Structure 1
Amino acid sequence: MKRYFLRQIEIEGFRGINNENHPLKLKIAHDKVCSVFAPNASGKSSIFDALCFSFKSEISRFKNIQNKENPGEYYINHFHSTGRSTISINLQADDGSETVDILIQKERSGERIVTSPNHPDPEELLKSLNHDGLMIDYDLFRSFIDNRPLERGRSFSMLIGLSKISALKQRLDTLSNTKNINTDHNYDTLKTKHQAKQDEYRKTRNTIIETLGRLELAHLDLNDIPKLEYQAISVLKNISIFKDILTEKEFKHIDFESLINVLKKTEGSKLQTEFIKKDNLKREIERVLPDSIDIETEQLNELANLVESKQKLLKSTLGKEYHTLYKAAKKIFEDLSYPKATCPLCESADLNFEGVPLYDFVVAKLDSFERIEQADKDIKRLWNSFTGRGRHLRIQSLLTAHAISTIAEGDLMISSEKLDQESFMSLTQKLQATDKLILEQQKQLNIDIKEISDKLPPSITDTVQKITDVRKLAEDIAHLAKVRDEGIELKNQCEHIERWKEFINNISFQITQAETALSQVICSEIEEDTRNFFQRIINSNRVVPSLKRATNKQDLDLVLDSFFSTTNLYASPLLSESYRNAFAVSVYLAALIRSKPKARFLILDDVTSSFDAGNQLSLIELLFSVISTANNPNGLQIIVLSHDGLLKKYFNTQASGLSDKWQHYELGGVAPEGRVTANLIGNDNLRSRIVESLQAGESNLGALLMRQYLELKIMEVIKKLDIPVPLDIALREDSRMISDCLKAINSHIQLTHQANICVLDQQQLDALQNTVIPSILSNYLSHLETNSILSINNQTLLGLVARIDEFSEAFKYTDDRGERKYYRSLTRIR
């Protein structure tokens, strides 16, 4: 995979960097540590924010700013006349195959525009470089330590390059959730309908068996439909008046109304017509009566319980207006990273309800509303799949004394927001009343049929009974086939959903297992580095950290295998802030070294703020010696921003000759209204700035830098040649006066010369002892140490620059390749 270094960044009009028409430019070497120092409010954080905006399309810390403060309006510098900010970055592939220039613009309207003259999709490239460990600041450490194990585990997955797997796992968890499957696919409704179809099939089959029994055909096989139909038609053919007109062999071709009409003409009886009518109605009523009322009663009771639960939830949530309010509040909390204990309306801080922060209270209330919505869905689902629904609809068409449809009334009631226990109880009572009415009607029909039957000849009633039974048998057989097909379709749908659920669960389980196993392997792989980094930062091996990844989920626990004389403790509640942050940064560094993200650079902003002084330097030394490409060919390009005064001196020392693998900038200027400047620190750079300033007539600036240049050169000589100095100079920076350091150097020269072991030749000794050191001590030192140097003219100051150069050159020799190098010491050559 091609990875990229950051070679250069230019910023204009962004945050605290105005620099109108003069962009702030930082050139960054890929094989050196780059440090940037600036006091607070000098533009340092604006550099970090600019890089954050470039790669993440936002400033992460703005998420914690209240919405009323309009954080989106503060991306652009308010003193920049164009109302536009521009960030130009240059990236270089680590294989040297390409460099990419990208321009990121932010308009006052909020629009982000990304262009590149040499890359087809610069926005996509920036997104591909973004990862959790790209930009590290104190807030990132704190959130990693303080987060819940699941959130920490997800962050860790993204950090080690498993972000796509982690995102897929979350989606699969959502898909496999039983509640979501039921909502998305109406699984419970389909299952209830399938059960109802099975019950209907069984009832219809039993009815057919009863009918066959009355027709004296009970011996027939119900699966042999053609034979069954033939025998049933034969029953009618045996009646003499139908023998010549009944030639059909299938029920679907028989016109039963014609048979009834033939019977009416033959007998000519009004009683017969009435008998047939009432007997048909009786058969219809028998078909809508349930085998057992228990299933319907159980379903109605379940509905009643849901209605009761919903009513209780409604009382506790205060209505839909509050639902809208809570949803808006949650959006503000999450989308804008609003403080969790501050009210978005009145901005009162540290609010707690029932012992939890306001955010958690809002989430709990919204959960109640979600349960109301789910209860509504469940109520509608159960009502629509109510077993007695179709039965009551058919009853309605058979009842003459019941004008209002109970089911239609129920549909209207269920869809209404005003549904309560009282109204549902009324609906239940009406359904029970409907069943009572149909039973009464059935009872009356039986009485009427008996009275008519007694008045008709037995042959007539027997013929009507046979026509009715055969007709009913035909209808039931057709209905049985229809119910069977519908049941099979519902069963297939249920099984399809069940297979889908099983598939998703299996895939989710397998991915969880694989991701967990891989994460555990990675945890094991980076654990040694994490421990080593942590112990190097805290300078102790008595605290041993460990990463524990859960076996069946994404949780990540931070534990201590040992803590002095104790073992197996959790890190977050036990460690001090400095140690907690050391733990977090060790995890991040170990993970980044292992995962090799596409962005081969790491930007750290004031990460040492909560570290003790010793731990600060230990962390920076770790970055330099182990993590950085300066000393690790497979490492990361390190960019450190800091306002710490102690680190400033360390940075200056590294960049001023102690190491050729360090570059250091110091920001100057007047932010945010004026121009921010980036001064590259180092002996050569400092000398160039002094000379340029003096030649340009800027005497004050050149004179102020002169003392710093002399200090750097003197300390460079002392460190390069290991010249011994008094103890107070070695330990106390406030004792490192130029005169004391020069005297220490001069004393060591004299001592080695008198011992006849001095490596300097006579010409160098004469220059140092007779010209250079005396000249600095006598002619310039008093001015430098009292700042009266400002009264010296430019030519004299240029002479002092030359004299300082002569001073350092006197301690060098020319090697076989013609290069000038410092002696290793005054007693031996390098």
Structure 2
Amino acid sequence: MVKIETMTIAGLRGVKEPMTLQFGGKSAIVYGDNGSGKSSLADALEWYYSDKIERLSCQEIGNNGIDALRNVRIDKNERAFMTLAMTDKSLNAEKEIIYKKDRLTAKFSNAAAEFQEYIKASQGENFIVRHDKLTKFVLDTKTDKLKSLSEIIGFSSVTAVRDTLKKAVNELGREVKNKGYENQIAQFQRSLLEYLGRNVPDDEKFIEAVREQLAPFGLGEAVKSVGDAPTALASLQASGDEKAIAVLAALEKIKGVTAGMDGKIDLLAADYQSYASQFAQLLADTGNIAKLALLDLLKAGAGVLTGGSYAEPKCPLCLQDKNLNDLQNELLGRIASLSELQGKLSKLEASRAKAKQSAASLRQTLAALLSDAVFKGEGEEKVFSELKKRLEDWAAGINPFEAETSKAVIDGAAPDASLALDKKALVEISGQCDERIQAIRAAEAGNARTAAHTNLSMAVKAYEQLTAMKKERDVIVEQQAALSKIYDAFVQRQKEGLEAFLAGFSNAIDEYYEYMNPGEPIKDLRIVPMTDDDELKGLAIEYQFNGQVLGAPLRCFSESHLNCFGLAFFLASVRAFNPRNGFIVLDDVISSFDSNHRTRFANLLIDKLKDYQIIALTHEKQWFEYFSKAVKGNPHWAVKNIYWDDNKGTYADEAHEDKRAKIETLLAAGKLEGLGNEMRVYLEQFLKEIAERLEVPVKFMFNDRNEDRMAPELLAALKARVDKKSKDDFAAAHGDLFNSLQRSNFIGNKGSHDSSYVPTRGDLNGLWDEIKSLENALYCSGCKQSIATRYASETEKKISCRCGALSYAWK
């Protein structure tokens, strides 16, 4: 897994001037006071990988939050960028915000296909968590839990396939009903019976019936297949019946279409009743529906309380006295209730859309029929004008459905559940067509050849349509049957796969949770699937409380317990589903934890996630101090500070190595101004570190004054410690190094304060050489670690570095 070596930020959020953080693939605890801009690191990383900042992606800002990412205090021509150097150097890149036609956009410096694939893959990983997102999964509805987890683990694509299959199966079923295949097939068969005088269930019977009709004219033997019928029909050489055939065809079309609408009518009735029923159920909640507009406000309020930044025992909106725990529980209850109501409204809108679609389908079918040329022709204009009027009158019955499906629940008026379309009227229209068909056929009955030509023409048309209709129906029915089998098998495999995954995933969550909550009554946390008729509907959280299996974490979980679960869920998600990135960013997640959970969480990160690079950002001073002490000397961890300056914005302490390189660069260039101060600061930082490693006793001072020790005091204390423990051995190797440095440090002190004394280049070179000499005396060039009491040997009376290459006698 790839980790971060170096991060450089400039012109992004609170960071104005370039700020570089050296991680070297290590984990880091990063402290910064509130307002110091430490969250700028998380914002920049989120933007780098996802091209947006979710918490800034609102309507007021727009552009996925990028417009709020660029530091507002830099000029338009100044660069705003983030550079990441990774443990895999092929993935090193810089991402810069640029202006393109006065709109902010971004570009990467690395155009390699491997890097582009890495960024795309990383967008499916979840490696940044902020405090306001910790409890989201815990407090989500069952459906939203399924959605959230599906997105994290990539299961959403599996669910999408399942939903697509289900939709396809349902749509094919609707199509069978919507097209009314069976009614239309029955109508074609009735027409064949009418024109051929017998049933024709298959090709053989059709050929037989056609040959019987043609036999009186000596043409029957020519028909040996269905395809021969049109040729034989042309051989009858009848005349004068083309107009009658056209009218008969139009009348048969009307009969077929009206017969096929039976299924459409039933579909509309079912869709409308489902819509009306859901609508009626929601009418009882019109008061709460009006409050749905407050849902975002309630969520924001809950976020404020959960975030720990608001501690006054008052409602933050009305300022009435209120217990914050009670207020938070009330808010969460209202949010859950309104979220459930919002889900019902979404289902109503889906039902409304279906009912509207069904009504539109009926109207479109009638509109297509009424656009036929026969309704504008001459000769038979009377019968067709009457039929057109009756069909248009019948179509007016669709209007109420369209009106009722446009109602809003908030208006409080229920849809008319008694609406129905008149099937009897369509039967009467079909009967009117039959009457006219019989009249035309009766008029031709006196001319056998003409009558036979008309009957066979209509029979051939009907049989062609019958055959095509059956094929179309059979294809859809076979598709539906095949997809149903695939869907059933897919659902079963999905259920089995999810259950197996959730079992392992729950074990990881429970392991992390119980590590932070040892010996407490809440244990054995589980995420379990919720099904309805074997269909996955959502996820729920179960746990044991004093041996009893319960759900609904809010019943028993305190705020700290909720946060512990949220962290356990996030960490388990990272371990399970982040195959590429081995780093995690925790942005002030500890704010609402009590002291016990804070220390346990720090220990969890140190002990249980050693193979991950953790970047923990915090403004909690005590937790930072505990964490810093816990990782002192740990080669896998670094400690860093973030500060704020009104001029340069957010900035970080320079790493020890960076300060050293900076001093040597200034010395080489002869840039002496302020160099003495740089050396003094470097020396004090080094002396504090070595004093801690050698357990050097210094005079007690209150509070943060211990952090303000000066170099002379530290040098004196360090010399006293070394003289006591290793005077002969150390002095033999390095002479009077401490006293020499003590004298030379005068140069650094004078060079860092207002003084008439101006150190020369030679003075500063001498001081720097002595500082390096002390470093070389105490630091091993091999393992890069200083001698330390943790490496002291009582039996050998020696002290050494970690690898043992540097050692001294030590009493």
Q: What is the TM-score of this pair, normalised by structure 2?
A: 0.67
Pairwise mapping of residues 335-374 of structure 1 onto structure 2 (< 5 A)? 371-374=351-354
Alpha carbons 2:512, 2:568 under 8 Å: kept: yes
- Of 620, 636, 643, 1:644 maps to 620
Q: Which residue of 2 aligns with 1:14?
A: 12
Q: 358-367 or 119-128, which moves further after superposition?
A: 358-367
DSSP 3-state at the match of 2:568: helix
Note the 1:363-402 alignment, pairs <5 A: 371-382=351-362, 400=382
Cα distance change on mapping 1:488 and 1:794 into 2, 3 Å: farther
Render the CA deviation track for 1:325-372: whole Å, top value 9, x for unaligned: x9xx99x999xx997799xxxxx99999x9998887777667656544
Going from structure 1 to structure 2, the CA distance change for 1:114 and 1:504 (only over 3 Å counts) comes to farther
Other-structure match for 1:37: 31
Equivalence map 1:608-757=2 (5 Å) = 608-628=590-610, 635-650=611-626, 652-653=628-629, 658-670=633-645, 674-680=648-654, 696-697=673-674, 712-718=689-695
CA distance in 2, matches of 1:818, 1:252: 103
1:87 matched to 2:81? The reply is: yes
C-alpha distance in structure 2 between counterparts of 1:255 and 1:427, whole Å: 44
User: Compared with structure 1, are the counterparts of its residues 688 and 467 closer, same or farther at alpha carbon in structure 2 (3 Å cutoff)?
Assistant: closer
2:126 counterpart of 1:116: no
- Give a deviation string over 1:377-404, Cα, whole Å, max 9, x none: 21243456689979x9989975747745
Deviation at 1:51, TM superposition (A): 0.6
1:42 alignment partner, SS class: coil
Indicate whether 1:532 and 2:514 are aligned: no
| SS, match of residue 224 in structure 1 | helix
SS in 1 for 2:3: strand
**Match in the other structure for 2:99:** 107
In structure 2, the CA distance between the partners of 1:141 and 1:385, relative to structure 1 (3 Å rule), is same
- Sort the Cα spacing of 1:564 and 1:102 in 2 relative to 1 into closer, same or farther, 3 A: same
SS of equivalent to 2:72 = coil
* Kept in 1: contact 2:81–2:96 (CA 8 A): yes
Show the counterpart of 1:242. Answer: none
Q: Does 1:487 align with 2:487?
A: no
* Maintained 8 Å contact 1:406/1:427: no
- Asked if structure 2 preserves the Cα contact closer than 8 Å seen for 1:83 and 1:107, the reply is no
The whole-number CA distance in structure 2 between the counterparts of 1:403 and 1:118 is 69
Report the equivalent of 2:67: 73
Distance in 2, Cα, partners of 1:596 & 1:296: 54
What letter matches 1:545 in structure 2? Answer: D
For the structure 1 residues 573 and 61, does the alpha-carbon distance in structure 2 shift closer, same or farther, using more than 3 Å as the test?
A: farther
Please, which of 156, 166, 176 is the counterpart of residue 176 of structure 1? 166
Q: Deviations over 1:621-640 (max 9, x none)?
A: 32233313xxxxxx222222
What letter matches 2:621 in structure 1?
Answer: G
**What percentage of aligned pairs have identical amino acids?**
14
**Separation of aligned partners in 2, 1:579 and 1:55:** 31
1:58 CA displacement: 0.3
State the one-letter code of the partner of 1:189: N
Q: Which residue pairs with 1:822 in the alignment?
A: 788
Partner Cα distance (1:494, 1:478) in 2: 24
Does residue 166 in structure 1 map to residue 166 in structure 2? no
109-118 or 139-148, which deviates more:
109-118
Q: State the shift of 1:591 in Å.
A: 3.8
**Aligned counterparts of 1:760 and 1:801: Cα–Cα separation in 2:** 25
Q: Residue 145 of structure 1 aligns with which residue?
A: 138
Aligned residue type for 1:607: V
* Cα distance in 1 for residues equivalent to 2:159 and 2:784: 63
- Do the aligned partners of residues 565 and 173 (structure 1) sit closer, same or farther apart at CA in structure 2, a change above 3 Å counting? closer
2-side partners of 1:338 and 1:471: how far apart?
80
Instruction: Verify the 8 A CA contact 1:406 1:430 in the aligned structure 2.
Output: no
1:301 to 1:607, Cα distance in 2 relative to 1, 3 A: closer
Q: Does 1:229 align with 2:213?
A: yes
Q: Distance in 2 between matches of 1:55 and 1:9?
A: 14
Q: How many residues align?
A: 706
- Equivalent position of 1:202 in the other structure: 190
What is the 5 A alignment of 1:386-535?
400=382, 403-404=385-386, 405-406=388-389, 409=392, 413=396, 465=445, 467=447, 471-535=450-514
For 1:309 and 1:154, the matched residues in 2 are separated by 25
Aligned CA distance change for structure 1 residues 584 and 497 (closer, same or farther; 3 Å): farther
| Equivalent position of 2:20 in the other structure | 25
Per the alignment, residue 121 of structure 2 pairs with 128
- TM superposition shift of 1:579: 1.9
Asked if structure 1 preserves the Cα contact closer than 8 Å seen for 2:141 and 2:340, the reply is: no
Assess, with a 3 A threshold, how the Cα gap between structure 1 residues 718 and 818 changes in structure 2: closer, same or farther. Answer: closer
1:592 CA drift (Å): 2.8
CA contact (8 A) 1:138 1:605 kept: yes
**8 Å Cα contact 1:133-1:592 kept in structure 2:** yes
Query: Any idea what the Cα deviations from partners look like across 1:309-329, whole Å, max 9, x if unmatched?
Result: 999999999xxxxxxxx9xx9
| Cα distance in 1 between the residues matched to 2:392 and 2:42 | 65
Contact 2:233 2:457 in 1 (8 A): no
Residue number in structure 2 paired with 1:559: 542
The 1:626–1:106 alpha-carbon spacing in structure 2 relative to 1, beyond 3 Å, is: farther
Cα displacement string for residues 64-119 of structure 1 (whole angstroms, at most 9, x for unaligned residues): 6756999553121111102665323334355x7x3532333243844433232562
- Alpha-carbon spacing, 1:799–1:210, altered in 2? closer, same or farther (3 Å): closer
| Whole-Å separation in 2 of the counterparts to 1:59 and 1:168 | 27
CA distance in 1, matches of 2:569, 2:537: 16
Aligned residue type for 2:121: S
Q: 1-side partners of 2:689 and 2:246: how far apart?
A: 113
What code does the residue aligned with 2:648 have? G
Using the size of structure 1 for normalisation, the TM-score is 0.65
Greater CA deviation, 37-46 or 132-141?
132-141
One of 546, 560, 567 as aligned partner of 1:578: 560
CA distance in 2 between partners of 1:130 and 1:294 (Å): 54
Which residue identity does 2:581 align to in structure 1? A
CA contact (8 A) 1:663 1:680 kept: no
Deviation at 1:706, TM superposition (A): 7.7
Q: CA separation of 1:169/1:45 partners in 2, compared to 1, >3 Å: closer, same or farther?
A: same
User: Against the structure 1 CA distance between its residues 91 and 579, is the aligned structure 2 distance closer, same or farther, given a 3 Å change threshold?
Assistant: same
Cross-structure match for 1:264:
none
Where does residue 548 of structure 1 map in the other structure? 527
Q: Which moved more, 1:280-289 or 1:594-603?
A: 280-289
CA RMSD across the alignment:
6.3
Name the stretch that deviates more: 411-420 or 33-42: 411-420
Is the CA contact (8 Å cut-off) linking 1:49 and 1:59 kept in structure 2?
A: yes
1:188 matched to 2:180? The reply is: no
In structure 2, C-alpha distance between the alignment counterparts of 1:157 and 1:310, rounded to whole Å: 29
Deviates more, 1:520-529 or 1:124-133: 520-529
The structure with the larger Rg is 1
